[in-house]
Structures are given as structure tokens and as C-alpha cells.
Chain A
Amino acid sequence: MTIASETPSVELKKLNWSRLYWPLLGAAAILAAVLAGLVIGETNIPVTDAYKTLANKLLSAGYEIDLIDQGILWEYRLPRAIVAASCGAALAVSGVVLQALLRNSLADPYILGLSAGASTGAVLVSIAGVGAGAISMSTGAFGGALLAFIIVAGLAKLAGGKAGAAQFVLAGIAGSQLFNALTSFIIAKSASADQARGIMFWLLGNLSGVRWFDVVTAAPIAILGVFIVFLHARSLDAFTFGKDAAASVGVAVQRVQITLISITALLTAIMVSIVGSIGFVGLVIPHAARYLVGVRHKALIPASAAIGAVFLVLADITARIIIPGQVLPIGVVTALIGAPAFAIILIRGQR
């Protein structure tokens, strides 16, 4: 018995070191990606200038630097990179939550129609003028995302689907189609031709218009959302063997489900109302993270957040430079990478 009680404590001391290792690695990767987002673009700007700009703006260092470059870095690229990182983390963690709660490895905000619902809500407010200026676009998006989830979950349940069953994904497809059609309908009815083109571009995912104003919403919500989900890591683990098993080990199933689904809807809604709906991040990133750190949510949630953040910043860089003189919607880039990755998941899922 003495031997048994000593072994774990040795392991724990070792763990303390590796506990620091992963978070530091994650933070370093995000910082490196954001830095890359600063310097790479249509005109490449040297790293030293990026450093000087940051020092000037944050510490009033007073370095001499080309004001146009400084403007591009500070007003355009930095907010854009931060929002991309927030968005990637939020979507990836939303995917983790939905996959755990529904016990379905194909669940994510995009497939389950949350993104489509958020788009409809956002368009209703911004184009059709619902709420008469009293509610913001992101509130509309939140309402749309929640409504979409309720409809999809209800349909899946009526179709006899238990968590983990294909019904959920099928219901999600139906829900996405419905809400996308509604969005198109609203646009066709209420938007001018110019507005319509702008919205279509935004719907595919687009970070072009992102400014500091958006950072102030996206970053805190992403951090808060990921943190709250992280606090539920143990509960999410307990869903491994289903709702009943989770309840058996003491998880307040309904409370956890409502809290976490609401957070997922909120994260999706905020990100959709800023950058449009971006597919595949929530679906693919959690699988990549599981491959690296395993299925326990205490590691999976931060790992997914970090990988999602890095991935979306890099995808945004790609979207900006792949066709010279033109910016591709970021949703196109994530789909081009995500679809093959998704195929790999499907094939490996066969085991």
C-alpha cells in the first residue's frame, strides 16, 4: 500500500512540468501566427516594422516608421488577425462541445445549422430591419442560432434519433437548407443589388471589413466562452457513455446541456455576425486536437482553441495572398482544406 501511494505523487511532480509545456506551446503558436498575419500580405512588411509598430502603439516608444505601413499593420492586419484567432478558437471549441453533447463526431455549428440560423438572424436585423434598430445584428444572430438548434434538435428527436445517431446530422442538413433559403429570400426581397453582393461575400466568410471595433466584441466573448466551456471539462468527459451515464456520475445533465448549447450558439452568433459563416473549422479542428492530446476535455478544449486560432489566422493569410490583387472569402479556403480533412475523418471513422 505504501508503494501504491508513493507512485502517483512522483507522477504528479512530473506532470507539473508538462502542465506548463502545452499552454506555453499553444500561446507561442498563436502569437507566431498573429505575427505572421501582421507581416505577410499583398505587401510584405518586415518583422522589425511590426515590432516597432506594436511598441509605438502599446508603449508609445516613438520609433521612426513609415506611417502607411504602420497604418496597415495597426488598423487592418492586427485586428484582422486577432478576430481570426478568436473566431477559430470559438468555432473549434463549439465543435468540441457539440460533438461531446450529441456524441456525434460529425457535429459542428455549421453542419447542425447554427451558422445558417445565425446568418438568417443577422440578415433579418441588418437588411429587413427587424427590431427597428433596437436590437443589434449579433443579438439577431444569437436568436437565429438558438432557434436553428431548437428546430434541428426537435426534428431529430421526432425522427426518433438518439444522441449519436445520424438523424441529428440529417436534421442539421434540413435546418441549414431551410435557413439558407430564408436568408436568400430576405436578401432578394429587401436588399439592393449592391447590398446583395456584399452580403453574399460576407456569408461565405470574410474578414476584410474587420476593425478594432470588432476585436472588442470577438476577443472577450471568445475568451470567456472558451473559459466557461473549460470549466465544464469534467462534465463533458462524463458524456462519453451517454446522457444517462453522465447523470449516474453526478452531472446535472439538463443544466449542463442548456448552458453549453447557449454558449455555443452565442459564440457562433458573434462570429457569424462579424465574419460570416465559416465551415469545417468546428468539425475538423477537434479531431486534429484529439489526435494530438487525446479525448479528455481538460486537454482537448485548450488544444482545440489554440489549433483553431492558429488555423484560421493562417487560412486568412492564405485567402489574402493566394490570388494576387484579390481577396478570397476565407470560407473558401477553410472548405478547400477542410473537405479533404473531413474525408479522412470519415474514412478513419470506419476503423
Chain B
Amino acid sequence: MKLEAHNLTWSARQSPIVSDVSISIESGEMFGLIGPNGSGKSTLMRMLAGLSKPKEGVVTIDGTPLKQMSRRQIAQKLAFVEQQAETDELIKVRDAVELGRTCWLSALSPWSEQDDLIVNSALENVDMNHMIDRNWHTLSGGERQRVHIARALAQEPSILLLDEPTNHLDISYQVAILDLVTKLDTTTIVALHDLNQAFKCDRIGVMQAGKMIAVGTPEEILKPTFLEDIFGVCVHTLQDPENGSTVLSFHSVKDRT
């Protein structure tokens, strides 16, 4: 499904946090969102997910504005994994993933075996199927993050919004989760801090001070001179001797002199 944003603006107490952002994400595309801390990535994603109302602008799914859909209809199409979501409840891993089915259930279509299968496969996808009876508060940060991703997968969305899905994960799960997301045929928007991971995206949007200042393919965006401007670090490119792909290496600006 196609996700579009037109002239999105959001501000907190007069100061603009996101200003005039328009993007159009094609069906099946994997779109990366990069930018410094506080540049407005999470705020933009919350608007795209319909969780906060833009002050101006509209978000549409396949041409239909989110405003005209119920929460349930949105959730059947779009799943969102927040940067952080915690609980004090003694909830179990499987229960947390089952929450993803909420938007498909009603009094007339109660929980079925089909739902069990979907939850099982979501748990398998993030390799949490051996921990289904563990209590939430006993999980490590990365395990919690994988459960949230499994919950989103259990929603069977056509559009998946992931806000820094890999920030708590060890390197093997970072690779595994990103590969999984790349393989899914969902439309995906993913906020990332690891710029080397951003090479896996089809296109990348760069946020700076609330504006989308550039959109393009990884080859166009992930260039040393450009990144140095945005992040204020010194960037070198290296070649991976195995497959010839580009790798970025970062140094503080001082090192250059």
C-alpha cells in the first residue's frame, strides 16, 4: 500500500518540531529515515501512524486520508513500533504479541486457531518462540524490542512503521531484523541511527531541524560531504573486500587536523 504525507506540520508550544514535510512512499518500498537526535523523526512517524494529529497537512493510505478511517481500520493496514513502550504489568511474552491481533477480533470473529498460527509465526520471525511464558519485566531490552516487533508483525500490516527497531539489539539480531524487514513485502518506514544499515533501504529521507532536507537512494544520500554537513562528523568510505559494497567510517572532526 502507498503511504503519502502532504505538508505535515507539528509544533509544541509555538516552536515548530516538524515543518512542511511531504513524502510519498511506494507500495513495498523500504524507506529509511535518518537525522540527528531531536530532528523530528519520531514526531513525523507518530503523525504517519495517525497517533498524533498534524497541525497542518494530511496523511493518506492509498489515497484515503487517515482522518476518514477508524482506529481499527488503520490498525488493520498499518502497524507501528514505538521507540520505547514499557509496562509494569506482569504480562507474558505471548500475551504481548497477541495484542497485535486486537484489530482483527470482534464479538463476531473471536480468537481462532488462525490467530494462534499468526502469533506463533510472528514469534518465530523474531526468534522469541522459546520465551513465550517469560514475564515482561524479566526480559532484556533487546528481547523486549523483539517482542514489540513480533506484536507489529502479528497485526499482519501492509505498512510497517519502525522507530529505531535495532537500537537495543545485538549485532546478529540487528542484521536478522533488518533482513527480515527487507524481505517482507510490506511498505516499510524505518528510523535508523546506524547509517551503514541505511544502505539496505530503497530510499532514504534525511531530517534536520524538523525539515526533510533530502530524499534519495542510499548512493545519493550516504555521501561523506553531505553527512559531514548534517551530523558534524568526519566521514570516510571504505570498500568491503568481500562484496565490494561501501562502508562508512566515522571520526570526530578534530581528528582531521
Contacts and interface: CB of A to CB of B under 8 A. Distances in A.
A249 B103 contact: yes
Given A4-B117, A4-B120, A251 B85 contact: no
Nearest to A164: B88
B96 A240 contact: yes
A237 B95 contact: yes
Interface of A is mostly: helix
B71 interface: yes
A250 B103 contact: yes
A253 B103 CA distance: 13
B95 A245 contact: no
Contacts of A235: 102
A238 to B, nearest CB: 5
Given A105-B88, A295-B89, A249 B82 contact: no
A294 B96 CA distance: 13
Contact of A251 (B71, B80, B120): B71
Counting contact residues on chain A (CB < 8 A from B), the size range is: 20 to 34
Nearest to A291: B90
A241 B85 contact: yes
Nearest to B81: A248
Nearest to B49: A248
Interface stretch (A5-13, A18-26, A273-281): A5-13
B102 A241 contact: no
B17 interface: no
A224 B100 CA distance: 28
Nearest to A241: B85
A165 to B, nearest CB: 12
Contact of B87 (A4, A240, A248, A251): A240
A247 interface: yes
Interface of A: 4-5, 8-9, 12, 103, 105, 164, 231, 234-235, 237-238, 240-242, 244-245, 247-253, 290, 294-296, 351
Given A237-B102, A244-B51, A247-B51, 5 more contacts: A103-B88, A105-B88, A234-B102, A240-B87, A250-B72
Interface of B: 46, 49-51, 70-72, 74-76, 79-80, 82, 85-92, 95-96, 99-100, 102-103, 105, 107, 113, 116-117, 120, 137, 151-152, 155
List 3 A-B pairs, minimum CB-CB distance, nearest first.
A250-B103, A250-B75, A8-B116
